[in-house]
Amino acid sequence: MSDLGTRIVAGDQRAAARAMRNVDDRMPGYLDLLKEIFPSTGRAFVVGVTGNPGAGKSTLTDRLIERYRAGGRKVGVICVDPSSPYTGGAILGDRIRMTRHATDAGVFIRSVATRGHLGGLSRSARDMVRVLDAYGCDVVIVETVGVGQDELEITRTAHSTLVVMAPGMGDEVQAIKAGILETADVFAVNKADRDGADSTMRDLELMIALGTETMVASGKHRAHVVHGGAKIDALPVAAASTHEQWVPPIAKCVATKGEGIAELVEALDRHKSWLDGTQAGRARRHLRLAEELRESLRETLIEAATHALGSEIDRAVDDVEQKTIDPYTATEQLLTAFRRR
Ligand SMILES: Nc1nc2c(ncn2[C@@H]2O[C@H](COP(=O)(O)OP(=O)(O)O)[C@@H](O)[C@H]2O)c(=O)[nH]1
Ligand SMILES: [Mg+2]
């Protein structure tokens, strides 16, 4: 193993910081490093945090760090920095909300820029999670910018997806539209100190119950349905791990005061047990890996083809524009030319 790899696995924070930069910037040799450290990964529990800007993701993440640290767990955090001028204000906010952990050697916080990644952000985030995993983090939290499609993709690199909502923002409706319900493993209704938190809780419970029944009706899951909402106290550990179907629990929180955080951590831990301890959970992990490998293959193939064919692709575009060839035949010819290389 390289010196850098050895130091990461030994828990050297500066080595980890350097590796994170190399991986994020895809510096020469970053793939070799990822290959080296891969055998030392697989221990960290990865939590994706998503939800609309302002819902309280960063404040909640700060509280999660605090809670995990109190339990002696080593924590890594990756914040996805929005580079867009529209959301630019959030960058500073994220850092400020977590600065009190900056001097704790058991906490590693790093931002990733969305700019320039062009859809490769989920891969970048996943690779950086692996570095933190090899470095010895017990938990890695990935905080996204919002609830767009890219964000959902990033949380897909996590074991557990935590969706944060705040009352009075219409988050419930947006969640349905964005397909959040299918990806959420745990919900947090944050800002419970504000009006409307209870009605947000009820709406969410109803949505979850309906979603569960729909899944069962359509035969997507062989499952025992847990009726009557999915409040944390309604789903003890044993129930979650013996039932094949996971019903996302809802934690009611006031992140600014640290309320509901213990319940939230407990819900996440229960989801981890479900992933580890049930057939369905293991199948999901397997599916994620299958997705990653296909994505990686697609990316590698397209890079190789673009490199090998070079200007031939541009010529083909011109030909299609001139209608001297159709795009289907052009693609076939490019593929044939690539295979001959
Ligand atoms: N009243 C109230 N405000 C909160 C709570 N949690 C966060 N906030 C505030 O909501 C704003 C946005 O929080 P932030 O964590 O940056 O949200 P993010 O954009 O989702 O990361 C900040 O001003 C927080 O202080 C809460 O539980 N109650
Ligand atoms: Mg934030």
Report the Cα–Cα distance between both ends of the chain, in Å, rounded. Answer: 33
How does DSSP classify residue 100? G
Helix (H, G, I), strand (E, B) or coil at 288: helix
278: Cβ contacts below 8 Å, ≥ 6 apart:
241, 243, 244
What CA–CA distance (Å, rounded) separates 197 from 141? Answer: 25
Residue 87 Cα, ligand 2 centroid: separation in angstroms?
A: 10
Q: Which of 57, 59, 143 to mutate to test the pocket of ligand 1 (most atoms within 8 A of CB)?
A: 59
Residue with tokens 């590796």: 19
In this structure, which residue's CA is closest to atom 1 in ligand 1? 191
Task: Give me the residues near ligand 2 (ion), CB cutoff below 5 Å.
Answer: 57-58, 94
Our answer on whether the CB atom of 194 is closer than 6 Å to any ligand 1 atom is: yes
Strand ordering across the sheet containing 186-189: 107-113, 75-81, 139-143, 45-50, 160-165, 186-189, 250-252
What residue segments make up the domains of the chain, in order of their start? 35-278, 279-341
* Cα-Cα-Cα-Cα dihedral sign, residues 94, 96, 101, 102: positive
What is the pLDDT tens value at each position of the chain, 341 positions in all?
899 999 999 999 999 999 999 998 889 999 999 999 999 999 999 999 988 888 999 999 999 999 999 999 999 999 886 654 444 444 555 666 777 887 888 999 988 876 555 556 777 888 999 999 999 999 999 998 776 666 777 777 899 999 999 998 776 666 666 677 778 899 999 999 999 999 999 988 888 888 766 655 555 443 333 333 333 333 334 444 445 789 999 999 999 999 999 999 999 999 999 999 999 888 888 888 898 899 889 988 999 999 999 999 999 999 999 999 999 999 999 999 999 98
Nearest atom, ligand 1, residue 60 CA: 15
Determine whether the shortest distance from the Cβ of 190 to ligand 1 is under 6 A. Answer: yes
Answer yes or no: are the C-beta atoms of 183 and 155 closer than 8 Å: yes
Kindly report the CATH number that applies to the domain delimited by 35-278: 3.40.50.300
CA dist 183 → 51, 225, 284 (Å): 12, 18, 12
Extract the tokens encoding 303: 């890079």
* Per-residue confidence (pLDDT) for residue 235, from 0 to 100: 39
Which atom of ligand 1 lies at the shortest distance from residue 61's CA? 15
- What is the gyration radius of the CA atoms in the chain, in angstroms? 22
**Number of the ligand 1 atom closest to the C-alpha atom of 62:** 15
* Contact in structure between 235 and 270 (CB atoms under 8 Å): yes
Smallest CA separation from ligand 1 atom 3, residue? 191
Q: Indicate if ligand 1 lies below 6 Å from the C-beta of 61.
A: no
User: What is the distance in A from the centroid of ligand 2 to the CA of 145?
Assistant: 6
* Atom 25, ligand 1: residue with shortest CA distance: 256
Q: Of 81, 256, 259, which is best to mutate to test ligand 1, by the most ligand atoms within 8 angstroms of its C-beta?
A: 256
C-beta of 333 in contact with ligand 1 (< 6 A): no
53 CA to centre of ligand 2 in angstroms: 7
Q: What is the pLDDT of residue 230?
A: 37
Query: Do 68 and 139 form a contact (C-beta atoms < 8 A)?
Result: yes
Assigned token pair, 214: 């729909």
- Ligand 1 in reach of 125 Cβ (< 6 A): no
Q: Residue with the nearest Cα to atom 11 of ligand 1?
A: 54
